[in-house]
């Protein structure tokens, strides 16, 4: 009889679920929607809306988290960290947006028993008490490439794969949700967002580390080893002025998922220990020779620049001080003369002359400009701003070769020579590929040199492809994630590439430089196609800039390159090139544009 009772009580106890069993070895709990009881755990942390509980009966499976979030505003009132409790409740998969992943939580909790108090709670040190975070791939559903096209061919919430935390970043962080963890020797790999949330890496193994301490995205490596540090649990606020590469104090907190990302909610605000030096990058080494064997070109997305922009004098100062006043500038995001005022104004003459005056005031040369007004409200960007690409050039050294400016809707053509029908002129501006996007501006230039036997000429294509707006999170449900506008950029790359190919078809030794904000990475289909069709070469590769130093932009956890310079074979000879990290290295308040500029030097002699 006694042994039967014992057996019975064992059976009853065994039927109570552990936290590991509730979480299971997949993204979604097998018990979603079910009411459970007798769940045992120790309180590891408390937040404004609930608390975190760690199992008293952990398993040895790396795939199952041993902790869970218990959601209930008043539930924790009489509980403190270190209490061992038995709870019941409802297992729930929660997300605040259909594009996010679900978080497994215990809702409508009831306290069945407080077993003991004062138990020791030790965070798991990431990479020591846990596996190392995977460094390259996010999900088994990405097919090996988080930027593969087509996007969104499957959803984590539907496929619900068994976790492989050794190999996939999402699986790794999922296998730790609810867990109290420590990040040792954290480094900030980006600037905080508006809420102070800051991406970090710890002392674990990483790939893609750049010289500044950030992580650069490379082909098939989009850095899942980084984690964002969210709102502190104690009501303090993370600093807003953290910079790329800052060393931080050790961070402890709980792993959760919110606002589209796995994140750690730290027990208290993060603290910067040390920033990188020097605070600012060096000015470019590539200075104009003032003649055809050393023509300098700069490219800069100046972020919605209008005559009244507060950042206009600072852009001018960057051009003079850091870019050393290149002979030719490829600018993107030049707005019309009254900026975002949404009226019929499309001319940017005042914007460009105001910038030119500011450059002269900063000690720079007297630039001239060339651009073509878009049709009102047809080129995307900030409403009313009519952003376009534009050139500034030194009229003492360069002039448009046989100038003949095209209109907004004139499609440029390559004529025998090769020369251009419109100089400058836009590429196929009525093509549907450019709906709500900037049309590239092609120009042919001549170096002014009275002594030259033959005029040195070269072509340029100033590009600002469609934006990545509408992208889904790298930590989101859609796999591979939605790369917003990728189909538009593919069509744009094909048109631009074909135009350039038609110049090279006439003269394979033509000197061509195509620069600007391509809004895409070189290892993603639009730019792979662009290189193939155009016949141009990626100048970063040609001059041997290390993969991890190829960045002009910070987004989420990644230092990344949206701005590129592609050149013809003839133009690549003796070329020099560098990115000037004047905006990625500084804090959010000091940043002048969201992009870094770049500078190149070429021998364009005939």
Ligand X SMILES: *[C@@H]1O[C@H](CO)[C@@H](O)[C@H](O)[C@H]1NC(C)=O
Least gap, CB of 91 to ligand X (angstroms): 14
- The SS3 of residue 44 is strand
Number of residues forming the site for ligand X (CB under 6 A): 16
Label residues 438-452 b or e (16+ Cβ within 10 Å = b).
bbbbbbbbbbbbeee
**Of 299, 362, 308, residue with least CA distance to 335:** 308
Sequence-distant (≥ 6) Cβ neighbours of residue 600 within 8 angstroms: 286, 296, 297, 298, 513, 515, 539, 565, 575, 576, 577, 578
Q: Is 37 in the site for ligand X (CB under 6 A)?
A: yes
Q: Is 78 in the site for ligand X (CB under 6 A)?
A: yes
Q: Is 74 in the site for ligand X (CB under 6 A)?
A: yes
Least gap, CB of 471 to ligand X (angstroms): 8
Q: Which of residues 388-427 bind ligand X (CB under 6 A)?
A: none
Q: Is 38 in the site for ligand X (CB under 6 A)?
A: yes
Q: Is 16 in the site for ligand X (CB under 6 A)?
A: yes
Strands (E), 395-435: 398-400, 414-415, 419-420, 425-426
The one among 7, 12, 30, 415 contacting ligand X by CB under 6 A: 12
- The SS3 of residue 432 is helix
Site string for ligand X, 426-465 (x = CB under 6 A): ----------------------------------------
Cβ proximity to ligand X, 152 vs 419, nearer residue: 152
Least gap, CB of 536 to ligand X (angstroms): 29
Helices (H) and strands (E) in the chain, counts: 10, 33
The one among 59, 62, 99, 250 contacting ligand X by CB under 6 A: 99
Sequence-distant (≥ 6) Cβ neighbours of residue 554 within 8 angstroms: 190, 191, 214, 244, 560, 584
The one among 77, 432, 450, 589 contacting ligand X by CB under 6 A: 77
State which H helix or E strand residue 444 sits in: strand 441-447
Q: Is 141 in the site for ligand X (CB under 6 A)?
A: no
Sequence-distant (≥ 6) Cβ neighbours of residue 259 within 8 angstroms: 96, 100, 230
- Tell me if the bond preceding 179 is cis, omega within 30° of 0: no
The one among 2, 3, 15, 450 contacting ligand X by CB under 6 A: 15
Cβ proximity to ligand X, 86 vs 125, nearer residue: 86
Sequence-distant (≥ 6) Cβ neighbours of residue 146 within 8 angstroms: 137, 138, 139, 220, 222, 474, 480, 481
Q: Is 103 in the site for ligand X (CB under 6 A)?
A: no
- Tokens 């490439």 -> residue: 145
Q: Count other C-beta atoms under 10 Å from residue 274's C-beta.
A: 10
DSSP structure class, residue 467: P
Label residues 516-530 b or e (16+ Cβ within 10 Å = b).
bbbbbbbbbbbbbbb
**Of 329, 356, 396, 352, residue with least CA distance to 600:** 329
Cβ proximity to ligand X, 178 vs 260, nearer residue: 260
User: Which span (60-68, 70-78, 223-231, 315-323) binds ligand X, by CB under 6 A?
Assistant: 70-78
Site string for ligand X, 143-182 (x = CB under 6 A): ---------x--x---------------------------
Q: Is 115 in the site for ligand X (CB under 6 A)?
A: no
Q: Is 349 in the site for ligand X (CB under 6 A)?
A: yes
Gyration radius of the chain's alpha carbons: 28
Q: Is 343 in the site for ligand X (CB under 6 A)?
A: no
Least gap, CB of 350 to ligand X (angstroms): 8
The one among 188, 359, 478, 571 contacting ligand X by CB under 6 A: 478
Least gap, CB of 478 to ligand X (angstroms): 4
User: Which span (74-82, 303-311, 319-327, 515-523) binds ligand X, by CB under 6 A?
Assistant: 74-82
Euclidean distance between CA atoms 356 and 358, whole angstroms: 5
Q: Is 502 in the site for ligand X (CB under 6 A)?
A: no
Residues that bind ligand X (CB under 6 A): 12, 15-16, 37-38, 74, 77-78, 99, 152, 155, 347, 349, 472, 478, 482
């Amino acid at each position: 009889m006694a042994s039967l009772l014992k057996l019975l009580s064992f059976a009853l106890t065994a039927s109570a679920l552990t936290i590991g069993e509730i979480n299971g070895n997949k993204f979604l709990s097998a018990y979603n929607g079910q009411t459970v009881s007798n769940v045992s755990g120790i309180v590891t942390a408390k937040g404004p809306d609930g608390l975190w509980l760690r199992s008293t009966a952990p398993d040895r499976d790396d795939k199952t988290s041993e902790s869970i979030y218990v959601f209930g505003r008043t539930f924790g009132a009489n509980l403190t960290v270190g209490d061992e409790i038995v709870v019941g409740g409802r297992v729930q998969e929660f997300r605040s947006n259909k594009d996010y992943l679900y978080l497994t939580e215990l809702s409508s909790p009831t306290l069945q028993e407080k077993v003991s108090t004062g138990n020791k709670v030790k965070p798991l040190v990431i990479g020591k008490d846990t596996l190392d975070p995977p460094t390259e791939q996010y999900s088994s559903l990405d097919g090996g490439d988080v930027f593969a096209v087509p996007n969104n061919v499957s959803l984590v919430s539907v496929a619900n794969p068994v976790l492989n935390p050794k190999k996939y970043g999402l699986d790794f962080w999922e296998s730790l949700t609810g867990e109290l963890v420590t990040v040792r020797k954290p480094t900030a790999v980006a600037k905080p967002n508006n809420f102070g949330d800051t991406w970090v890496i710890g002392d674990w193994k990483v790939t893609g580390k750049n010289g500044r301490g950030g992580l650069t995205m490379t082909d098939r490596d989009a850095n899942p080893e980084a984690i964002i540090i969210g709102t502190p649990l104690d009501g303090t606020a993370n600093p807003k002025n953290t910079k790329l590469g800052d060393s931080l104090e050790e961070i402890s907190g709980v792993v959760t998922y919110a606002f589209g990302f796995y994140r750690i909610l730290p027990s208290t605000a993060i603290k910067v220990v040390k920033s990188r030096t020097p605070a600012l990058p060096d000015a470019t080494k590539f200075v104009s020779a003032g003649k055809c064997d050393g023509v300098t070109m700069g490219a800069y997305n100046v972020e919605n620049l209008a005559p009244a922009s507060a950042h206009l004098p600072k852009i001018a100062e960057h051009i003079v001080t850091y870019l050393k006043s290149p002979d030719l500038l490829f600018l993107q995001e030049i707005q019309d003369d009254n900026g975002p005022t949404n009226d019929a104004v499309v001319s940017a003459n005042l914007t460009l002359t105001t910038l030119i005056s500011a450059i002269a005031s900063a000690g720079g040369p007297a630039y001239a400009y060339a651009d073509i007004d878009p049709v009102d409200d047809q080129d995307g960007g900030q409403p009313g701003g009519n952003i376009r690409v534009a050139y500034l050039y030194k009229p003492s050294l360069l002039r448009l070769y046989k100038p003949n400016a095209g209109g907004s809707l004139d499609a440029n053509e390559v004529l025998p020579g090769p020369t251009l029908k419109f100089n400058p002129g836009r590429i196929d501006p009525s093509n549907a590929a450019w709906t709500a996007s900037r049309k590239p501006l092609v120009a042919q230039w001549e170096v002014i040199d009275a002594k030259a036997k033959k005029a040195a000429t070269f072509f340029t294509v100033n590009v600002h492809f469609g934006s990545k707006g509408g992208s889904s999170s790298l930590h989101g449900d859609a796999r591979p994630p939605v790369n917003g506008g990728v189909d538009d950029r593919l069509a744009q790359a094909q048109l631009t590439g074909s135009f350039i190919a038609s110049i090279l078809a006439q003269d394979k030794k033509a000197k061509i430089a195509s620069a600007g904000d391509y809004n895409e990475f070189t290892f993603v289909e639009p730019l792979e196609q662009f290189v193939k069709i155009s016949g141009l070469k990626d100048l970063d590769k040609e001059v041997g800039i290390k993969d991890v130093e190829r960045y002009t932009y910070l987004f989420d956890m990644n230092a990344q390159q949206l701005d590129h310079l592609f050149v013809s074979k003839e133009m690549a000879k003796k070329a020099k090139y560098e990115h000037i990290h004047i905006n990625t290295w500084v804090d959010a308040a000091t940043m002048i544009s969201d992009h870094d500029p770049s500078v190149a030097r070429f021998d364009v002699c005939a």
